[in-house]
Structure 1
Amino acid sequence: MTIDTKSRREAGLSPRIVAIVVAAGRGTRIAGTQESATPKQYIELAGVSILRRTVTALLDTGLVDAVLPVIHADDRALYDRAMGSDPEDERILPPAVGGRTRQESVLNGLEALFENAPEFVLIHDAARPFVTRDIVSDAAAKLEEGASALIAAVPVADTLKRVDGGMTVGATVDRNGIWAAQTPQSFRYSDVLYAHRKAADAGRGDFTDDAAVAEWAGMNVHVSTGSPGNTKITTPDDLVAAERRVLMEEWLKLGDIRVGTGYDVHAFEPGKAVILGGVEIPFERKLKGHSDADVVLHAITDAIFGALGDGDIGHHFPPSDPEWKGAASDKFLIFAIDRVAQQRGRIAHIDVTIVCEAPKIGPHRERMRRRIAEICSLPVSRVSVKATTSEQLGFTGRREGIAAMACATIRLPFDRAGEDNR
């Protein structure tokens, strides 16, 4: 069983397993994308950088005590942005600076660990964000059993052809015993450090991976479990496929789909404008309420609370509380959105119907959609604002006020903390 990095440090112990994430490359083969000026490891997949996803995937296995990124000397600002708000995570070690080649970068990473050397090290490509616990678990188990060098790999399933420079097939290659190497490549730290130092001293900088360095140094390299899904992002097509995969996986995790409804009404009083959907609309009157009386945002807020089963707007923001007198209603909506985030969920869609004779909603509809989308961090396409009259019936028909009905669709994970497993 591994001990977490903080506990090992407090006990004066070195981390047992450290993953070196090689992120010093320039990613030239992905040129042609809009972000081709940015090294591929810093390009975002669904709002999170590839590097951040790779580091998180390794730490989420629960088997890696620490991760050491190795970055290009010019990329510190890119690195800080890519890693987001977690540089204080003690499991993410300060990045080492890479060298002129991948081989040199790995050696720099190994040397950076020397003062607090781990027993084992996993060397992993920053552009492989889909590494899984099973892959890391098998490598860790084989290291514990005595292996000193391992490559994650999968047997080649496709028929292989040898093709000449004119793109003519010259021969069919026997694929028996042929495996495709992946990362992580896993080693006993002292052994791989020796191999890399020996290669550097010999002036050998031409090895394509760490297993090749180990083989040259006389180490026996074995295979650990890889996965066809443990793909490396290299080309623009890889990037597109990875983006689709991440989005699909994220939505599949949010399989608990909830729908809530909200309804609110406010009367008119003397004034010069109404606020609807966070937008001020010039009018001969205003809406009466303890806050800014934004009937649209109030209805949306209640719809979200309804989807969460979390009370209503009056419960969270009592009209008797002077703190909320004249408050902008986007504060209430942001609070409801935060409640969704606390349960690791996302808002998927908002639909609002405004019922009034006046003012005319049509000229302001798109501004309202954009403002609601902005507050909810949604694409405008996921926000609907409709308007209707009550055919001069009831209080809205008599122009005494405005009503709004809202429907909110949210997605939550099935495994939320505190949720009954029913």
Structure 2
Amino acid sequence: MSQSARNATDPANLPPRPSTRIAVLIVAAGRGQRAGEGLPKQYRLLGGKMVLSRSIAAFACHPAIHSIHVVINPDDRALYDTAAANFDIAPPIKGGATRQGSVHAGLMALADEKQTGAPPDLVLIHDAARCFVRKNLIDRVIAACDAGSGAIPALAVTDTLKRGDGGQIIGTVSRDQLWRAQTPQGFPFQPLLKAHQNAALAGEEMTDDAAIAEAAGLPVRLTEGDEENIKLTTPADFARYETQNHEPRTLEPRTGLGFDVHRFEPGDHLWLCGIRIAHSAGLKGHSDADVGLHALTDAILGALADGDIGHHFPPDDPQWKGASSDRFLAHAGGLVRAASGRISHCDITLICERPKIGPHMMAMRQKIADTLDLDIRRISVKATTTEGLGFTGRREGIAAQATATVLLPAPD
């Protein structure tokens, strides 16, 4: 960037705007498929902290920011709650099917005065995967924005660019006046909201918010970007950071214990360890009442020291009514991966007089192994009775206990 451009957007050369209300919209609803298997990249651990937590922290400590709002996929609510647990920020916003749709949803939420009190004057749109953003870059974007223009951080293209077809070079592209766009991208709120509304009505899909602003005739300034402000995209990006910044960490074993009970109710089948079993009664519960998977989920959460199944999936939440319990187990397994750990072994004991468990044991083990992406040899399912004693002996319900051995990085 030229010295003149740098001077034009230097905070010291623009009048202060202390009364300006600035909101940050962090976009975290994507699936990040290029980042490989596992949790969406914004919820993966990087140096012991979730990527999204790092992005929130960058803005939470900035004195000019009035409010922070995160746009998420509703399926990730439990992961979001973990990432945002230490921050006093607004409730999350339900995202759309695309990044553009998610930003539009976030802007509409900010425009709702019943929720926000008053719309912001300026809004910064930031990708959750750019968790290395620094205060001086945020300062530059804010300083370059005003009521009549937006601003984005960008880096001049320095590599030689080639155009190719079928593996052959067919031309060289001039890199003059070419820039690599970054986030946060800042805009006056009302003009950007209108630009997004127009784009949605026209069915136009664009690559970033600056393109939407440009299409609506809103000028967008360039301000100096930061080479450290990378967007985590591939597994190599994560590996590179860990290699450069952290020594390998020792994995230590943790053991969790889970126990659950469900009573019988009228029905013709029940679910145990993910398998539908015909029976003269069902099991009563808010979800599918799979007592085996509930106990194992609690065991894994116990090994993580991360609450219990009711904390992550409240029984009074209507979205979990009738839910398949393998979703709860998969979530617990995902938390282990997010903590850079792995599940070593699971052991479940089902306690009941009926139904007979033996014919279903292999199917149960395979279902659990598939849900947790483990070798079946790491899964044990067995059954016992109480010799006619207690509520299980009276055939009033089924109990289950489970243990999970999880290998996790040793604390610093």
TM-score by length of 1: 0.52
**For residues 61 and 224 of structure 2, what CA distance do their matches in structure 1 show?**
18
- 1:147 shift after superposition: 4.6
1:21 to 2:26 alignment:
yes
1:142 counterpart residue number: 144
Q: Please list every run of 5 or more consecutive structure 1 residues that lacks an aligned counterpart in the other structure.
A: 4-12, 249-373, 379-422
1:183 to 2:188 alignment:
no
**For residues 50 and 137 of structure 1, what CA distance do their matches in structure 2 show?**
21
Please list the CA deviations of residues 348-407 of structure 1 after superposition, one character each: whole Å capped at 9, or x if unmatched: xxxxxxxxxxxxxxxxxxxxxxxxxx9x934xxxxxxxxxxxxxxxxxxxxxxxxxxxxx
1:113 to 2:110 alignment:
yes
**For residues 246 and 62 of structure 1, what CA distance do their matches in structure 2 show?**
28
**What secondary structure does 1:208 align onto?**
coil
Structure with bigger gyration radius? 1
**What secondary structure does 1:20 align onto?**
strand
1:193 counterpart residue number: 193
**For residues 238 and 210 of structure 1, what CA distance do their matches in structure 2 show?**
24
Contact 1:2 1:63 in 2 (8 A): no
Contact 1:57 1:131 in 2 (8 A): yes
- 1:152 shift after superposition: 1.1
Contact 2:104 2:193 in 1 (8 A): yes
Contact 2:164 2:170 in 1 (8 A): yes
1:74 to 2:71 alignment:
no
The verdict on how the C-alpha distance between 1:246 and 1:126 changes in structure 2, with shifts beyond 3 A counting, is farther
Please list the CA deviations of residues 219-244 of structure 1 after superposition, one character each: whole Å capped at 9, or x if unmatched: 11211221111100001111112334
**For residues 190 and 17 of structure 1, what CA distance do their matches in structure 2 show?**
12
Contact 1:54 1:129 in 2 (8 A): yes
Q: List aligned pairs for 1:152-171, cutoff 5 A.
A: 152-164=153-165, 166-171=166-171
Contact 1:148 1:220 in 2 (8 A): yes
1:377 to 2:411 alignment:
yes
Structure 1 residue runs of 4 or more that deviate by more than 3 Å after TM superposition:
244-248
- 1:2 shift after superposition: 7.4
Asked which structure has the greater RCO (Cα within 8 Å, sep 6+), the reply is 2
**For residues 158 and 245 of structure 1, what CA distance do their matches in structure 2 show?**
24
Q: List aligned pairs for 1:329-408, cutoff 5 A.
A: 377-378=411-412
Please list the CA deviations of residues 110-150 of structure 1 after superposition, one character each: whole Å capped at 9, or x if unmatched: 11111121100000000001111111111111224x55211
The verdict on how the C-alpha distance between 1:99 and 1:167 changes in structure 2, with shifts beyond 3 A counting, is same
1:57 to 2:36 alignment:
no
Please list the CA deviations of residues 174-233 of structure 1 after superposition, one character each: whole Å capped at 9, or x if unmatched: 1011100111111000010000011111222x2111111111112112112211111000
TM-score by length of 2: 0.53
Aligned length: 231
Q: Please list every run of 5 or more consecutive structure 2 residues that lacks an aligned counterpart in the other structure.
A: 1-15, 248-407
**What secondary structure does 1:138 align onto?**
helix
CA-atom RMSD, angstroms? 2.1
**For residues 245 and 78 of structure 2, what CA distance do their matches in structure 1 show?**
25
Contact 1:233 1:242 in 2 (8 A): no
**For residues 61 and 226 of structure 1, what CA distance do their matches in structure 2 show?**
18
1:132 counterpart residue number: 134
